[in-house]
Amino acid sequence: MFDHELMDTETAAVKKELRSMKRTFRIGLAACALLSGVIGFSAGTLAAKNSKASVVVQSVERRQNVENVPVTSINIPSVAALTQNSVVEIRTESVSNSLFLRQFVTEGAGSGVIISEDGYIVTNNHVIEDARSILVALHDGTTYEAQLVASDSKMDIGVIKIEASGLTPAILGDSDSLSVGEPVVAVGNPLGQLGGTVTNGIVSALDREIILNNEHRNLLQTNAAINPGNSGGGLFNADGELIGIVVAKSSGEDVEGLGFAIPINDAKPIIEDLIAQGYVGGRVSLGITALDLTTPQLAAQYGFKTPGVYVQSVIENSSAANGGLQPGDCFVSINDTAIEAISDITSILNESSVGDQLMITVKRDGKIVELTLTLQEKKG
């Protein structure tokens, strides 16, 4: 679904000034099910074009104000002892339909972090999405059936609850106070069967811009070992404070040490909204499902002649329905910005507010059609 997240498929002050210098990567989710693959990017190899070129080594004296450079160490056994009881294993079952209309059950696995003594647990939306049953195992092996409270596909955050008391919630840290090179510990359930696994590393980047599920995201990057099943687990600082929710890793034959986590300062207001009202307030909803058809062959499978971003369906009484969008429309531009992928639309919606008007140009039956839509709030 694809609404502010383009519909249902899906505030610290100033962000780091380095953001404008950052590369944007497209990465894959750390799979929540053992049968799921991890889609990633391939690392290129840089080679010297002229191996005979002379190299001039310049020796310079480097000085810095060491008083402002934090010197930190980490006691990993201590952090593990403080945090392991706050991280849970999650197992799910989902029902899917085959091409021959037969139903089959898919099992998945992931991690979660306890955030209240009475059983609220935060995880990733992709861990529990469409699950018909959710089973939670505590570090001591006690298991509970969990109920979905609410989830948000845009931020990839889900909240579930178990009927328990006296649990050990994680202590929330301050992700805005982190420094590159600061030691961290990841705790989760890699491979869906190694619950309570502790790995360590450093903060590799504070505000890495990537594209995840067609959303431009700014995440913490770490070299702590992250594997399928770690999704939804915790990233902790040297004091055992939760500073990130593990969300993704990058994979590839030559890729190692690239894991990502949602900064806890970004996740906290989302979690609070999901618990309080069941959705994230202030999000705009376009009210369509969309198809990103990138090749002529793929377009032909859906009955279209050319590649493009097409409206698949329109939600009744939504912004799109009230503005005149129709199934089969192919996006040309929004507010004079060319639309070449779903992520282009998502970026525009991310910068929009409830009540804003969008000037949308689409191709319909070979003709150019211009529409004006007023954005509504996404509820649920």
- How is residue 294 written in tokens? 């990138």
Could you name the CATH architecture of 284-377?
Roll (2.30)
Contacts of 117 (CB under 8 A, 6+ apart): 165, 166, 167, 168, 169
Which 8-state DSSP code applies to residue 258?
-
How far is residue 242's CA from residue 264's CA, in Å, rounded to a whole number? 7
Tokens of 365: 């039956």
Q: Which of 264, 268, 124, 260 is nearest to 205 (CA)?
A: 260
Q: How confident is the model at residue 121 (pLDDT cuts 50, 70, 90)?
A: very high
Reduced to 3 states (helix: H, G, I; strand: E, B; else coil), residue 278 is coil
The model's pLDDT over 3-26, given as tens digits with 9 standing for 90+, comes to 444 433 333 333 333 333 344 444
Pairing of strands 157-161, 120-123: antiparallel
Q: Which residue out of 111, 126, 251, 266 is catalytically annotated?
A: 126
Catalytic pick among 86, 111, 151, 231: 231
Give the separation between CA 127 and CA 188, rounded to whole angstroms.
Answer: 13
Mean pLDDT of 102-111: 84
Q: What is the pLDDT of residues 128-177, one digit of tens each?
A: 998 999 999 999 999 999 999 999 988 899 999 999 999 999 999 999 99
For the chain, the 3-state helix, strand and coil shares in percent, each to the nearest 5, are: 15, 35, 45
Confidence of residue 100 (pLDDT cuts 50, 70, 90): low
Name residue 240's beta-bridge partners: none
CB 261 within 8 A of CB 244: yes
Please pick, among 8, 156, 207, 329, the residue that the annotation labels catalytic. Answer: 156
What DSSP state is assigned to residue 268? Answer: H
Sequence-distant (≥ 6) Cβ neighbours of residue 156 within 8 angstroms: 29, 124, 125, 126, 212, 213, 247, 262
Whose tokens are 């030691």? That residue is 183
Hey, where are the domains in the chain? 20-37+73-277, 284-377
- Nearest Cα to 261, choosing from 247, 249, 250, 271? 247
**156 classed as catalytic:** yes
CATH of domain 20-37+73-277: 2.40.10.120
How many Cβ atoms sit within 10 Å of the Cβ of residue 285?
A: 24
Cα separation, 98 vs 81, whole angstroms: 44
pLDDT digits (tens, 9 = 90+) for 290-328: 999 999 999 999 999 999 999 999 999 999 999 999 999
CATH topology agreement for domains 20-37+73-277 and 284-377: no
pLDDT at 272 over 70: yes
CA atoms of 144 and 135, how far apart (whole Å): 6
Residue 104 has pLDDT above 90, yes or no: no
Determine whether 231 is an active site residue: yes
pTM higher than 0.75 for the full model?
no
pLDDT in tens, 252-262: 555 667 889 99
Is 251 a residue whose pLDDT tops 60? no
- What pLDDT score does 250 carry? 62
pLDDT number for residue 179: 93
Q: What is the pLDDT of residue 253?
A: 55
